Chains A and B, each alone.
Chain A
Amino acid sequence: MPKKPVLLVVPALLLLLFPLVFSNPYILHMLILSMMWIILGVAWNLLGGFTGQVSYGHAAFFGTGAYATAILVKSGQPVAQAWWGLLVGGLAAVVLATFIGWICFRLRGPYFSLSALALSEVLRLVALNWKEVTNGAEGILFLPAFNDKGAYYYIVFALAAVTIFTIHRVMKSKLGFYFLAIREDQDAAESLGIDTTKYKLVSLMISAFFTGVAGSFYMNYMGFIDPGIVFDLSKISIMMILVTMLGGAATLWGPALGAVIYILVSEIFRVYVGSGHLVFFGVLIIVIILFFPNGIVGSILEAKGRRDRKTDGKDPKQVAA
């Protein structure tokens, strides 16, 4: 959170007033998608950036959240629609996270990353083939609860605010320090008495909850999902990582910035370039990794930090290591 509250309150107020002044549905749509991706980026960042457990399979939670809501609505539970069905999506994702964490956290580093990816792909195939429940490749379609994009705008705004605030609080608490300790050195953390398996799971559960909520929101907002959309490896799982990296992993606002840039860039290129518009995003990722390995916000913070660190005469790389 910025030190000066003005920096937070003014943009928030501007965003709150925006739909009252401009009602262009296209711009609102872009903003809604941006805020949904802010939730996804910030949620992934808790596990990947702060806890150091890079997951290549977060689409599992996004898809589960979306399908939990969709299946509830399909079976005649209108209650799952609109805002408080979102909780169902989040909770379904947490249940899944407990299971996935139980399996995958026996493994470390890339082994964890890849087994998360594998489980997410298995879920996609289950959603594709378990036709009685999920409608298979046809997907699930229902009428959105609100006709007005403004309603969704405020819902997703509130969700994004709650997500950022929660993760900010978590990282300021003891829990947050456990997470950082696990990222820096899992064995050292263990030897200090941190139950690393437990806290990695806690991190995963929080991250999965918000991802599931975002998935559920997506279902409510778009009114249609199929397994190829919500369980997509490159458009959901990988994109969550890239959004975080672009803005800056392990920073609070980095993933949010990354999300906005992602939506903006992909939209501009979709409109002006057409097919293969992700080329530019791929190039952007390569450039970011080569020249700003800690993302945009991370590089800014690093530049500031380097000035402070110079006084103790150590190379910043050695301090980080």
Chain B
Amino acid sequence: MTPQLAGQIELFVQVVIAGLLLGGLYSLIGLGMSLIMGVMRIINLAHGELMMVAMYITFLLFSLIHMDPYLSLFVVLPALFLIGAALQKYLITPVMDVESVLPQNQVLLTVGIGMVLSNLAQMVFSADYKSVPVSYASKTIYWDVNVGGQTISLSFNFPFLVAFGIAIALGAALFLFLGKTDIGRMIRATAQDKRAAAIMGINTKRITYITFGLGAALVGAAGTLLAPVYYLYPAIGGPFTSKAFIITVLGGMGNIAGAVLGGVVLGLGESLGSVYISLGYKDAFGFIIFVLVLIFLPKGLLGKSSV
């Protein structure tokens, strides 16, 4: 193998790795959105803003008591769960029962919630960029592989690697929770048929609070995991909300396994597209994949849309 070819392969594999690691985080964001969509049948357009809240909690804990971002997961997850459940209980559920001309009042309500969250963050923390400067932010692990006589050197960004691992662990925990526990079964039953679930004695309202809380906690985890490698600013939520629904549509609305696939596809698409096509259009690839999937595979890449 020529050194040029080895270089090409090295770049390609490196880009795929970066895409996969990013995809792990995206999956976490998509899982939360998909869960909410599956049970409540609404698109949560405040999803990115919830992530932003988690990032600011992580930032506060780090700058005030110097808590490690990964440790602060133990604060962020319960906090976001409570915020999410409260939003569902006091704002979204009351709107579900109201008749209105526009069919998507709950969705617009989440837009309003997102606006309040991001502007509150701006009032409290100002619009400046903040960061969580952990010592290992740019730590990289190298791995040399011998391919056909040429050495290919691959690098893994440490925080992304940890984030990927935690994302997988949380994803697995979610699957176990949904599959094996009573509450998990209740959530799946509510997603399948709300009325039938209610007849079976499930308190579907309570299930919606739990579901929104879980969704918020998952995207909150993604926010905390991103904090060491990303800048945070009050408007960061918007782009991530877009990513969340792209992932959800890719995976099939409300399809949880699909959300993982959608996250990985988006991560890979952005990573490959920005290297091989154009960096400026990085964010456009997601949208283009999104529109194409909507038109040709409206039920998502996996072709079914149930939890």
Contact = CB atoms under 8 A, between A and B. Distances in A.
Contacts of A283: 112, 116
Interface in A225-273: 233-234, 238, 241-242, 245, 249-250, 273
Contact of B91 (A238, A273, A276, A286): A286
A107 B295 contact: yes
A211 to B, nearest CB: 18
B236 to A, nearest CB: 13
A114 B43 contact: yes
Contacts of B91: 286, 290
Contact of B245 (A54, A114, A125, A279): A114
A118 interface: yes
Interface stretch (B9-17, B54-62, B223-231, B286-294): B286-294
Nearest to A137: B280
B101 A250 contact: yes
B99 A317 contact: yes
A-B pairs, top 5 by smallest CB distance, nearest first, are A282-B115, A276-B123, A293-B100, A285-B112, A282-B116
A202 B238 CA distance: 31
Interface residues of B, number: 46
Contacts of A4: none
Interface in A270-321: 273, 275-279, 281-283, 285-286, 289-290, 293-294, 298, 317, 320-321
Given A107-B294, A321-B99, A118 B104 contact: no
Nearest to A130: B280
Interface string B276-298: 00101101100110110011001
A118 B287 CA distance: 5
B95 to A, nearest CB: 6
Nearest to B122: A276
B105 interface: yes
Interface string A120-143: 011001101100000000000000
Contacts of A215: none
B105 A293 contact: yes
A119 B288 CA distance: 8
A321 B295 CA distance: 30
B111 A125 contact: no
